[in-house]
Structure 1
Amino acid sequence: MTVEDAVSRYWSEIGQHHVNSDATLWSLDWLCTNLGRRTKLNTITDKQVAEIVAKRRNDLIPRRKTPTRISPTTVNRTVTQPLREIMLRASNVWNVRTQKVDWSEHLLREPGERVREASAVEEAKIMSELERGYDVAVRFAFLSGCRRMEILGLTWDKVDFFGRTFTVIGKGNKPRVIPMSQAIFDLLWQEKDHHPRVVFTFVAKRVVKKQGYARGSRYPLTEHGLKTAMRRGVANSGVTNFRFHDTRHTAATRILRKSNLRVAQQLLGHEDISTTTKYAHAMVDDVRSAMDAMSAAEIGVEVDHLTARKNQNKT
């Protein structure tokens, strides 16, 4: 089996059904081009994998004024993991002979995920700079903690106003049912008549023949459009060090302050609660505040006792 045959079969069986299928298609095409479309799958060894990973690491981030190499996380997501999935599927499902590859040696070490929470003031500033349509999607992100692709992929057949729930397709194409808060219910209800299928849309400001946009008509939000709108909105708001994924961190931290790790785990769709524990700082902050309040109260009581004793001595 050639790389091209394997990639084509993987796309047909798995890749096209990914929520972020455009990104999967890009990765598969990159692998085909850089491994060689006619390269036999059974000739790929640790040496070839190491070379292809090194090549991807040298790629630069497009649309940046200052040339910057892509992150280890991006290398893993766009090259190493897709290639690993293809070769394992070829061996385990398609009964195609492949070389033994030590994938742990090729997955790059990723930095620990940060937790950046927006304050209420920061959220208001960002929201004030977003255009109509994009502001609704970002507001939904702050309220639900959903990932960008979960939001873009939300369709009306997955929204149950009667049961007050909605279903998103998360990582690994796994569905997750999320209850609607009153704020989410109101937000979705206002959007229900804008598009027959897709929940989050925008109004085209001008005619764009290439995309088939007509001025004044509504169209589904795109990943590129939402990324651009968020980046501009944050920059114009004056808020620093804030990205779209931080809306998820913000929602998780806020829900944790009002509940517990199990509730936050269910909201975020984490299979392992250890993944949710990175938000435990919220509970630590609450404990610290409670301890400070307790200490202050005890100091106040002690001062009252000393004052009373002093007055008694005087009499």
Structure 2
Amino acid sequence: MATFIRRGKTWRAQVRLRGQSASATFDSKRQAQEWAQDIEYQIRQGTYGKPNAGTFGDLMKRFAESVSPSRAGARWEAVRLKKLLKDPISQIFLSELKTQHFAEFRDRRLTTVSSGAVNREINLLSAVCRYALREWHLLDHHPIQGLERPRNPRPRDRRINEQEIDRLCTALDWREMAPQTYRQEVAWAFLVALETAMRLGEILALTRDDLDIPGRYVTVQNSKNGDKRHIPLSRRAVELFQMVEDRSRGFLRVGRDMASAMFRRARIDVEIDDLRFHDTRHEALTRLARKLDVLDLARMVGHRDPRSLMIYYNATATEIASRLD
């Protein structure tokens, strides 16, 4: 148990747990509480006072349990960290952790996954190290800083034509009415994504409270970067949302994994190559760029830096030339 005593302008924290004790003085009660929580965790894990007892794997587990649930992409982080616990880097003691270990990790992973995937994993491990350094004081340096990153692959530029849209909607049994089956719900989400550039997870999370038909917008409460944003709706998007606006809670029943699997199955059934649901974001953004200026477009799709829109904007030379007449 931890106790906190105020002495003038400082706070003294004392921890007594499982026969061990520790105390320290801080400028604020919050700092004292955070320190006490960290010491209690170390005692429970058996690492308190043993600098070599904690491994990077222990750190990843702690991050997955206490930090990831509050972050955007929590599900991806939990799955990825669980997988990375099988990598040799998880066995390195924190007191011995160096940039060299992450360079070896990078080289190992590059033999099995793409450079883009490796960079995403390094970003996640960097966040783990940052917490260990700044919040938990378990590292005395950031071992990933200065690590040479692999070059990311060129961004995808996959466009979706009208024939492919029709074929996919047919495969998913789409009707111009409120979706009744899971397959029709996937088709509805696909069409909404083409109009709004919303991600699949954002669409599936929408509820009736997020929709404002008179104002012609829908609200994404928690986007990838953690911000809330309002998505203006085209006339076609309004038609699609009017099909489901009488549903009291979520618009769709289908879950993310099932929706992704059904979309892949439909793509295979109609023999469309190299298409992902996320490619709707490329297609939608490229279409919207003809109607909106760059700042409005960045706000709509949730990009804080308008320059990052170039990753998704994939107008062909012919399309650009047609606007020069």
TM-score scaled by length of structure 1: 0.72
- Structure 2 residue 210 is matched with structure 1 residue 158: yes
Q: 1:38 to 1:49 in 2, by over 3 A?
A: closer
Q: 1:172 to 1:8 in 2, by over 3 A?
A: farther
Note closer, same or farther for the CA distance 1:36–1:285 as it changes in structure 2 (3 Å cut). closer
Give the letter for the 1:177 counterpart: H
Report the Cα distance in structure 2 between the residues aligned to 1:284 and 1:263, rounded to whole angstroms.
23
Q: Which residue of 1 aligns with 2:104?
A: 51
Partners of 2:193 and 2:313 in 1: CA distance: 20
| Counterpart selection for 1:247 from 257, 275, 280 | 280
Percent identity for Structure 1 against Structure 2: 25
Matched, 1:221 2:273: no
1:269 to 302, 310, 317: 302
Q: Counterpart in 2 of 1:282?
A: 315
Give, in whole Å, the separation in 1 of the partners of 2:171 and 2:194.
Answer: 15
Instruction: Confirm or deny: 8 A CA contact 2:157 2:314 kept in the other structure.
Output: no
With over 3 angstroms needed to count, the CA separation of the structure-2 counterparts of 1:128 and 1:42, relative to structure 1, is farther
Corresponding residue for residue 90 of structure 1? 132
What is the aligned-residue RMSD (CA, Å)?
Answer: 2.8
- Offset, 1:137: 1.2
In structure 2, stretches of 5+ residues that fail to align are 1-53, 173-182
Report the CA distance between 1:200 and its aligned residue.
2.4
**How many residues end up aligned between the 2 structures?**
261
Q: Secondary structure at the match of 1:133?
A: helix
Map of 2:85 onto structure 1: 32
Q: How far apart, in 2, do the equivalents of 1:126 and 1:92 lie?
A: 49
Contact 1:256 1:283 in 2 (8 A): no
Residue 260 of structure 1 pairs with residue 260 of structure 2? no
* Structure 1 residue 164, shift from structure 2 partner: 3.4
Q: Please state if 1:75 is matched with 2:128.
A: no
Q: Which residue of 2 aligns with 1:128?
A: 170
Q: Which amino acid aligns with 1:46?
A: T
The aligned amino acid for 1:118 is: I
Structure 1: gaps (5+ residues)? 59-68, 202-219, 294-315
Pick closer, same or farther for the CA change 1:281–1:82 going to 2, 3 Å: closer
What does the per-residue CA deviation read over 1:243-278, in whole Å, with 9 as the maximum and x for residues that have no partner? Answer: 212111110111112233233222221111111135
Distance 1:96 1:48 in 2: 17
For 1:241, the aligned partner's letter is: D
1:198 aligns with 2:250: yes
CA contact (8 A) 2:260 2:277 kept: yes
In 2, are the aligned partners of 1:3 and 1:37 still within 8 Å (CA)? yes
